[in-house]
Amino acid sequence: MIKIKVENLTKTFTVHTRGGIEIKAYDNINFELQKGEFLALRGPSGMGKSSILKALYRTYTTSGGKILFYKNDGSLIDIALANESEILDLRNSQISYVSQFLQVLPRISAVDIVAKPLIEKGESEMQAKDKAKEMLSYLSIKEELFSVSPLTFSGGEQQRVNIAKGIIAPKDVLLLDEPTASLDEANTNKVIDKLLEIKKKDVSMIGIFHDLNAMRRISDKIFDVKEKEYANYN
């Protein structure tokens, strides 16, 4: 069952500070994501991998092409053309995004940040916080930091809180932009193990990995953005 089908996707940026020149981020991108599948985007830096993910989440608009999202009710929506209300509804119910950086309000504790997605799904605050603490512990965040704002944490700790927040209550489709970029090998493997658990629940994922071994462990398919084709990196 297809969850996302990308057809002839193109993105061009206009740089107004340089006389309005146009820079092509990517063009003619075509791939499919099946239900319960992990698709990795691979290619050299600057090939537009993160920009493609942002287009799928509609943080970026597109210059051309289609992003067909197959919803749970059987209907189809083109993310590239959907209005803001449709995109907001999709984000609230069926698609989520984990960026490289933690973006949170100050003075909110790590446990409250991680528990929030569970509370939004209807779990009690107590149960959500218990699960958040379990997830933070699993990702090697010390217990004494649970009640502290993660804005005071190290870069690696912030990224682990960001991952915990992003995967604790996964929606049908999960987009991951280098989730393990700042992590050591042990914590990278923990993240991959958790993503493998999520995948067994038929969550569909598209991700970018700097770590080739991590990408190989989790991926069902690898799409080479430079070559514009599925690739074998074994």
pLDDT by residue (tens digit) across 168-210? 999 999 999 998 888 999 999 999 999 999 999 999 999 999 8
Mean pLDDT of 216-228: 95
Whether 218 and 138 share a structural domain: no
pLDDT on residue 18:
72
**For the domain that residue 42 is a member of, what is the CATH number?**
3.40.50.300
The 3 state secondary structure assigned to the chain is CEEEEEEEEEEEEEEHHHCCEEEEEEEEEEEEEECCCEEEEECCCCCCHHHHHHHHHCCCCCCEEEEEEECCCCCEEECCCCCHHHHHHHHHHCEEEECCCCCCCCCCCHHHHHHHHHHHCCCCHHHHHHHHHHHHHHCCCCHHHCCCCHHHCCHHHHHHHHHHHHHCCCCCEEEEECCCCCCCHHHHHHHHHHHHHHHCCCCEEEEECCCHHHHHHHCCEEEECCCCEECCCC
Mean pLDDT of 112-124: 96
With beta carbons less than 8 A apart as the criterion, state whether 79 and 87 touch.
yes
Q: How far is CA 65 from CA 3, 11, 178, in A?
A: 17, 9, 25
Q: Which domain holds residue 217?
A: 1-94+171-234
Whether 62 and 176 share a structural domain: yes
pLDDT on residue 22:
82
Whether 87 and 190 share a structural domain: yes
pLDDT on residue 74:
87
Q: At what angle do helices 125-138 and 110-120 cross, to 10 degrees?
A: 130
Comparing CA positions, the residue from 175, 173, 147, 174 lying closest to residue 161 is 147
Cβ neighbours for 54, distance < 8 A, ≥ 6 positions apart = 60
* Amino acid (1-letter code) at residue 220: D
Q: Which of 155, 170, 185 is the last residue of a domain?
A: 170
Whether 87 and 181 share a structural domain: yes
C-alpha 107/C-alpha 9 separation (Å) is: 40
The per-residue pLDDT for range 8-53, each reduced to its tens digit, is 999 998 777 777 788 888 999 999 999 999 999 999 988 899 999 9
Whether 162 and 190 share a structural domain: no
Does residue 122 surpass a pLDDT of 90? Answer: yes
Does residue 233 surpass a pLDDT of 70? Answer: no
Burial of 34 (0-12, 13-18, 19+ CB in 10 A): middle
Whether 32 and 119 share a structural domain: no
pLDDT on residue 60:
93
The per-residue pLDDT for range 50-98, each reduced to its tens digit, is 999 999 999 999 999 999 999 988 899 999 999 999 999 999 999 999 9
The per-residue pLDDT for range 128-172, each reduced to its tens digit, is 999 999 999 999 999 999 999 999 999 889 999 999 999 999 999
Whether 10 and 89 share a structural domain: yes
Whether 2 and 84 share a structural domain: yes
Does residue 234 surpass a pLDDT of 90? Answer: no
CA-based radius of gyration for the chain: 18
Whether 69 and 4 share a structural domain: yes
Whether 151 and 230 share a structural domain: no
pLDDT on residue 106:
87
Whether 139 and 31 share a structural domain: no
Whether 88 and 202 share a structural domain: yes
Does residue 222 surpass a pLDDT of 80? Answer: yes
Q: Which of 170, 187, 218 is the last residue of a domain?
A: 170
Q: Structurally, how many domains does the chain consist of? A: 2
With beta carbons less than 8 A apart as the criterion, state whether 55 and 69 touch.
no
pTM of the model: 0.93
Q: What are phi and psi of 6, to 5 degrees?
A: -100, 125
Q: Which of 170, 185, 214 is the last residue of a domain?
A: 170
